Amino acid sequence: MTSSRERPGWRRLDGVDWSMVIFVALVCMAATGIRGSGRNLDYWANFTVFVGRFLPPDWSVLPDVGWAMLETARIALVATAVAAVASLPLALAASRTVSPWWIAIPARLLLNAVRSVPALVWAVLAVAITGPNALAGCLALSGYSAGYLAKFFSESIDATDQWPARSLRAMDANAIQAFRWGTWPQLRTQLASHGLWMLEYNLRSAAIVGYVGAGGVGLLLQTYQEYGDWDRFGVVLIAILVLVTIIDWAGQRVRQLWNPSQHIPAGG
């Protein structure tokens, strides 16, 4: 048998190496198709003039921005909670280790369909149904997030080590008991982590869906852009940056709390 050292260089590449080679080749091919408008523009001058309009920020709108941010946070929280609850049965249906193929495949197709519609299109649809308000934002982000969370959850379920549950079954625990004490403890933190990621994502998305009337700070962004109030627009961007930074920091702290393996193992 030929050892890996005796093979020619290209035959020593494994699946990951080949994936990287193909990825780089695709990037090179894609880059050749990216072109500008063809007009003779001074990009740097355009950039500096546009950014200059944001300065100095008009802090007088801060109270309005604060209330709008609060509404954005509300939309994101409620939408994430609704999506988390709705996605659990969908995830179980789409899981290959839990559901038979004739349920899993249609469920996966449904999830693909839900995810292929961008959040902004969901928002347009929701505004058409409920009118321009925060409820539209909630509905839009709930539908969109449920598609994502269900995919993440079902992949987590499929990737879970089945051995703990099997070993409990070998000691006569029933299927639900084995899932509860063998599988669920492994899943719990992952599902919560996915939910937290979705909340962070929705806080950003909730700021955008307001552009089409679905409530929150996006509505202010749209108004300030319409009237060219870039100094006020800048205040909203700063507020979003602050909120996202706080959420990012808080998310890290919460994940640290959830991960018991960060304790130092005792010897023995």
- Interface residue list for other proteins (CB under 8 A): 161, 163-164, 166-168, 170-174, 176-178, 180-182, 185-186, 188-189, 260-261, 263-268
State in angstroms the smallest separation of the CB of 125 from other proteins. Answer: 37
Q: Burial code of 123-133, b = ≥16 C-beta within 10 A, e = fewer?
A: bbbbbeebebe
Closest CB to other proteins among residues 133, 186: 186
Do the beta carbons of residue 116 and residue 110 sit within 8 Å? no
State in angstroms the smallest separation of the CB of 212 from other proteins. Answer: 41
Closest CB to other proteins among residues 149, 178: 178
Closest CB to other proteins among residues 31, 266: 266
Closest CB to other proteins among residues 17, 161: 161
Closest CB to other proteins among residues 106, 185: 185
State in angstroms the smallest separation of the CB of 56 from other proteins. Answer: 50
Cα–Cα distance between 192 and 260 in angstroms, integer?
14
Show the tokens assigned to 143. 């539908």
Cα–Cα distance between 62 and 19 in angstroms, integer?
48
Closest CB to other proteins among residues 24, 159: 159
State in angstroms the smallest separation of the CB of 262 from other proteins. Answer: 9
Do the beta carbons of residue 210 and residue 72 sit within 8 Å? yes
* Opening angle at CA 247, ends 50 and 74, nearest 5: 90
State in angstroms the smallest separation of the CB of 175 from other proteins. Answer: 9
Cα–Cα distance between 128 and 121 in angstroms, integer?
11
Q: What is the DSSP string of 24-60?
A: HHHHHHHHHT----SS---HHHHHHHHHHTT-S--GG
State in angstroms the smallest separation of the CB of 90 from other proteins. Answer: 20
